[in-house]
Amino acid sequence: MQGFVGSLVGFGATKGVFVTTSAFSTQARDFVRHLTQRVILIDGQQLADLMIEHNVGVRLTRAVEFKRLDEDFFADEE
């Protein structure tokens, strides 16, 4: 994390996003909280949630069908 923040400073960036497929330690989360640069941490679970939400790299395997009663079908014709 320190290397990533160091590269942000080196390039004059004020914001960064660090993505991992695993998890961040408590120390890493605490470290980025106290920085002048804004660093967003996205762990594996958040990444998977975002992929599902935005349909990236996912495939529909099952659809659920909802039915409701068609009241017009049963309406008396006059």
> What does each of the 78 residues of the chain score in pLDDT, given as a tens digit?
999 999 999 999 999 999 999 999 999 999 999 999 999 999 999 999 999 999 999 998 898 999 999 988 888 766
Q: Which residues of 7-43 are buried (b: 16+ CB within 10 A; e: fewer)?
A: ebeeeeeeebebeeeeebeeebeebbeeeeeebebeb
The amino acid sitting at 50 is L
Q: List pLDDT tens digits, range 23-37.
A: 999 999 999 999 999
* 57 conformational bin, left if phi > 0, alpha if psi -120 to 50, beta if neither: left
The amino acid sitting at 69 is L
pTM of this prediction? 0.71
The amino acid sitting at 66 is F
